[in-house]
Structure 1
Amino acid sequence: MSTRSKRGWTRRSAMTAMSAAAFMSSTRLGWAAAKVAPITIVINQSPWFDSFRKTVELYEQESGNKVELDVNPFAGSLEKQRNSVRASKGQYDLLIMNSGWFAEMYFGGFVEAITDIEPGFKLDPDVYTLGDTIYFDPAKKTMTPAGKLMSMPISPLIPMLYYRGDLYKEAGLKAPDTFAELEANARKFHAPPKMYGIVQRGARGPHTVAYDFYPYLYGFGGGIFKDQAAADYSITLNDEKGKAALDYYIRLAREAGHPKTASLDQAEVIQNIVTGKTAHMITVIAAWSQMDDPTKSVVVDKIEFAPPPHVPGVPTAPGLGHWLGGISKNVPNDRKRATVEFLRWFQTKDAQVAATKAGGIPINAAAYRDPVADERKYRWMKPLAEALKHSVNIYQFPEASEVIAVLELGLNRAIAGEITSTVALNSMADEINGIMAKYNYKTGKLEPLK
């Protein structure tokens, strides 16, 4: 496998290469793959990239097929994908698409359905469909299993509750299931400045505070739109459920959280928990490995994991921040078929258990039932498996970035105390309604909150 990028990303050091070789020599899947053309995958440099790289190297070893990785920063990966799919002949075969832009690729007709390339392809029934985002009905412009299989999950990232298991054990507490329980426990441990009950993200960014607010919004039974699956984009953000969620988020920050919540981004939130400064955080599962890294953490083996809380009668509802692999439509047929062969292998339980051992987040539910999930190191797997069943796809349209920008500003201002939750929700609802109307979606809005 070769790796390259615009910034000259090169192979890992000799030590990393030896580590990868040891991983592969100890992980034999016995997969009999067809011999196919070389393929190129465009991907972002991320905390989970190294596990994907090792998994690809295992595929090469097991199959004898060749894969090239073009590795880029987050924004650079999107730019390269956009340029490639609009060219007369695409440069990249497999597009690793983020939850923020895969709809753009679907709606634009830039990726080809896996089952159109190979009608006999079968999705492993244990693969998480992640809010059915791997499917798309081009006629109805909706993501539904009734549509075509457009992509394969690559990394099923959602936020999870991280909490101090050692403190819970000392206090005789169980993992919080409801928001009321989380608040009570956060208040119990809140002793600033030595310890904060919970640390939350509140900074404005490209998709920052909004992403961390989704588990609260949907966990209270609220939402941004009435029914995306039915293409009804009427705005429901500023209903009583949305207000209850935002009021709760703000109350936690002010009464049991960090005094500078409005300025905290993900790195600062994680830093607070690994330095022993907070009892709770809700953040993406990709941060799990930092918890037990002795070079980064003073709470090694003390952090436990649970699905995000919810109100009674409403299931946990973590928002998807996942990655999907779609096959570019404008590449030669032999490379399309070769990419299908890679995805056929990648989705299997054995490949996903190997990916887990390499540090990845598996996409196949069978991997979460494997004995590896009983190992202390992987204690996050069973809670994650439960949460993934309830994951929510927040956006099903290509103009989502405009809506996210509205949420980022409004939520940040409310958390900072610049405006009330009522003003924030009403103003965000008005702006989002205008965006959806501009693009001719079926939309509408509620009466303003008083």
Structure 2
Amino acid sequence: MKKHRKPATMLVAGAGALCLTLSGCAGAGSLGASDQTITIAMVSNSQMQDAQKLASQFEEENPDIDLKFVTLSENQARAKITASTATGGGEFDVVMISNYETPQWAQYGWLKNLSEYAQATEGYDEADFIPTLRESLSYDGSMYSVPFYGESSFLMYRKDLFEQAGITLSEKPTWTEVAAAAKQLDSEDMAGICLRGKPGWGELLAPLDTVINTFGGRWFDEDWNAQLTSPEVERAVQFYVDLVREYGEPGAATSGFGECATQLAQGQVAMWYDSTSAVSTLEDPSSSAVVGKIGYAPAPIEVKDNSGWLYSWALGIPESSENPDAAWKFISWMTDKQYIRTVGEDLGWERVPPGSRLSTYEIPEYKEASAAYGPLTLEAIENATPEAPTVQPVPYTGVQFLAIPEFQDLGTRVSQQISAAIAGQQTVPEALAQAQQYAEVVGATYREER
């Protein structure tokens, strides 16, 4: 595993400044009278909302532990959790983070070693986590967060509309095929495709980076020279921007995962390329008007043969937590095999958090419910290539992100430029020229260290 640098002083100072601007950042005594109240910072996605609905079961089993949830949108959660954890404020006992933050924060000493807890918890079975995911959440051989769910990316499309239009996708579709289908299916009543355009390193850049990778582009060459104005990157970004501007959803520059999920679930778009976790919305009759009408295909490719990303929303314990043992009790409940069965039996098998445990894919009820997408999800996660994400060699790892501390800021700045191009406020070359300047500053710091 590549080592991560210590975070720059600016990152920690910036996090502290951010903490002052957000409600709830606090010092000692903010958790209330009970020393067994644990505060959990979570992203407000559908699977996490299900966990909150079921949390009363945990409290019944553990009457000495009270749960306090803080739920935020993805961009807000990343900012607030980073601020709190980096400054050691002790605001949260459990934080929802990803395989981007986990290895870095483990190296900085910000997180508890959860392998020690897992191995002391009877029946927890740490080895049951999908190997690529387990590795991505580890540092020096130990897990510092455990996956609530794991995801890759794939193409979701309306089978009925494709059949009516006589469109057939290849077994491994190309982006050229996808663009042609989007053009054919686009109409006044229905967008041909939904793609994220909302700024954010974990919003717009998640799908776009996979397009850059498969088109042969990269952020930096092996010597940390920025490559965002290279022909390969410009071709990829121009393709993405043109596709979403010409055949994409209305308001694409402000659309993220949630907006696209709603649009496809309500029958307003014909295709969507995004996270495999979207199935919990699309296949749930209570939230979707297109249940059973969605087909699933691998992440589209162009030059690079495999372009699916690897991501996990996982749970970790900050070193600053005053109640780490109680925090682990909750984490182990929410990420255990039994929780997965509870979701399936109480809420429906289509709402099971996917992509975390191998054993999930052996549950008969889940195998039946997920026949259209379960095997593809598992295959995509197992075949993701974060150690070799691009066609040409690179000095970083990560498919839809760069596993370097600066990427939170760099990625967000670059995404803002490209989102502005999607909004028609500037051209793609203009956006990439500015993005190149941002990347050159980061690349220079790595060259200086050599």
**TM norm structure 2:** 0.71
Structure 1 residue 242: Cα displacement: 1.9
Structure 1 residue 239: Cα displacement: 3.2
The unaligned stretches of length 5 or more in structure 1 are 8-36, 137-145, 445-450
Structure 1 residue 364: Cα displacement: 0.6
Whole-angstrom CA distance in 1 between matches of 2:335 and 2:240: 37
Which residue in 2 is equivalent to 1:188? 184
Structure 1 residue 71: Cα displacement: 1.2
Whole-angstrom CA distance in 1 between matches of 2:85 and 2:423: 41
- For the 8 Å contact 2:212–2:236, the answer to whether it is kept is yes
Whole-angstrom CA distance in 2 between matches of 1:443 and 1:387: 37
- 1:160 and 2:149 correspond: no
How has the CA–CA distance of structure 1 residues 369 and 407 changed in structure 2, closer, same or farther, with 3 Å as cutoff?
Answer: farther
- For the 8 Å contact 1:103–1:397, the answer to whether it is kept is no
- 1:94 and 2:94 correspond: yes
**CA deviation digits over 1:128-178, x for unaligned, max 9?**
543833122xxxxxxxxx443222112324443221022234436246522
- 1:430 and 2:428 correspond: no
Whole-angstrom CA distance in 2 between matches of 1:296 and 1:342: 28
Structure 1 residue 199: Cα displacement: 2.4
Whole-angstrom CA distance in 2 between matches of 1:402 and 1:84: 17
- For the 8 Å contact 1:93–1:336, the answer to whether it is kept is yes
- For the 8 Å contact 1:81–1:92, the answer to whether it is kept is no
The amino acid that maps onto 1:51 is D
Which residue in 2 is equivalent to 1:49? 48
Whole-angstrom CA distance in 1 between matches of 2:277 and 2:192: 22
How has the CA–CA distance of structure 1 residues 267 and 338 changed in structure 2, closer, same or farther, with 3 Å as cutoff?
Answer: closer
How has the CA–CA distance of structure 1 residues 237 and 59 changed in structure 2, closer, same or farther, with 3 Å as cutoff?
Answer: farther
Which residue in 1 is equivalent to 2:4? none
Structure 1 residue 249: Cα displacement: 0.9
- 1:398 and 2:382 correspond: no
Structure 1 residue 193: Cα displacement: 0.8
- 1:389 and 2:382 correspond: yes
Whole-angstrom CA distance in 1 between matches of 2:82 and 2:244: 38
The amino acid that maps onto 2:94 is L
Which of 182, 206, 226 lines up with 1:235 in the alignment? 226
The amino acid that maps onto 1:43 is A
Which of 276, 279, 291 lines up with 1:300 in the alignment? 291
Which residue in 1 is equivalent to 2:127? 124
Structure 1 residue 80: Cα displacement: 6.6
Whole-angstrom CA distance in 2 between matches of 1:271 and 1:289: 12
Which residue in 2 is equivalent to 1:40? 38
- 1:441 and 2:441 correspond: no
Structure 1 residue 314: Cα displacement: 2.0
- 1:366 and 2:359 correspond: yes
Q: 1:167-178, aligned counterparts within 5 Å?
A: 167-170=161-164, 171=166, 173-174=168-169, 177-178=173-174
- For the 8 Å contact 1:197–1:280, the answer to whether it is kept is yes
Structure 1 residue 384: Cα displacement: 1.8
Whole-angstrom CA distance in 2 between matches of 1:342 and 1:269: 31
Structure 1 residue 40: Cα displacement: 2.3
- For the 8 Å contact 1:214–1:319, the answer to whether it is kept is no
Whole-angstrom CA distance in 1 between matches of 2:353 and 2:150: 7
Which residue in 1 is equivalent to 2:340? 352
**CA deviation digits over 1:88-143, x for unaligned, max 9?**
8x46443222566546633542112224567768731443543833122xxxxxxx
> What percent of counterpart residues are identical?
21
How has the CA–CA distance of structure 1 residues 214 and 351 changed in structure 2, closer, same or farther, with 3 Å as cutoff?
Answer: same
- 1:112 and 2:105 correspond: no
The amino acid that maps onto 1:179 is W
Which of 261, 273, 293 lines up with 2:264 in the alignment? 273
The amino acid that maps onto 1:130 is L
The amino acid that maps onto 1:290 is T
How has the CA–CA distance of structure 1 residues 154 and 216 changed in structure 2, closer, same or farther, with 3 Å as cutoff?
Answer: same
- 1:325 and 2:315 correspond: yes
The amino acid that maps onto 1:68 is D
How has the CA–CA distance of structure 1 residues 319 and 403 changed in structure 2, closer, same or farther, with 3 Å as cutoff?
Answer: farther
The amino acid that maps onto 2:48 is F
The amino acid that maps onto 1:354 is T
How has the CA–CA distance of structure 1 residues 132 and 421 changed in structure 2, closer, same or farther, with 3 Å as cutoff?
Answer: farther
The amino acid that maps onto 1:156 is G
- Name which of structure 1's ranges 278-287 and 123-132 shifts more when overlaid on structure 2: 123-132
The unaligned stretches of length 5 or more in structure 2 are 1-22, 26-34, 387-397
How has the CA–CA distance of structure 1 residues 364 and 266 changed in structure 2, closer, same or farther, with 3 Å as cutoff?
Answer: closer
Which residue in 2 is equivalent to 1:135? 138
Whole-angstrom CA distance in 2 between matches of 1:56 and 1:254: 42
Whole-angstrom CA distance in 2 between matches of 1:77 and 1:396: 15
Which residue in 2 is equivalent to 1:214? 209
Whole-angstrom CA distance in 1 between matches of 2:173 and 2:448: 34
- For the 8 Å contact 1:220–1:242, the answer to whether it is kept is yes
Structure 1 residue 418: Cα displacement: 4.2
**CA deviation digits over 1:214-235, x for unaligned, max 9?**
23223334333457xxxx7543
Whole-angstrom CA distance in 2 between matches of 1:86 and 1:348: 30
Whole-angstrom CA distance in 1 between matches of 2:77 and 2:129: 32
Whole-angstrom CA distance in 1 between matches of 2:133 and 2:448: 25
**CA deviation digits over 1:217-268, x for unaligned, max 9?**
23334333457xxxx7543443343223212212322443346533544444
How has the CA–CA distance of structure 1 residues 345 and 273 changed in structure 2, closer, same or farther, with 3 Å as cutoff?
Answer: closer
- For the 8 Å contact 1:225–1:233, the answer to whether it is kept is yes
How has the CA–CA distance of structure 1 residues 76 and 379 changed in structure 2, closer, same or farther, with 3 Å as cutoff?
Answer: same
* Higher helix proportion (structure 1 or 2): 2
**CA deviation digits over 1:410-445, x for unaligned, max 9?**
2123334444433433431221221454xx33479x
Whole-angstrom CA distance in 2 between matches of 1:388 and 1:118: 22
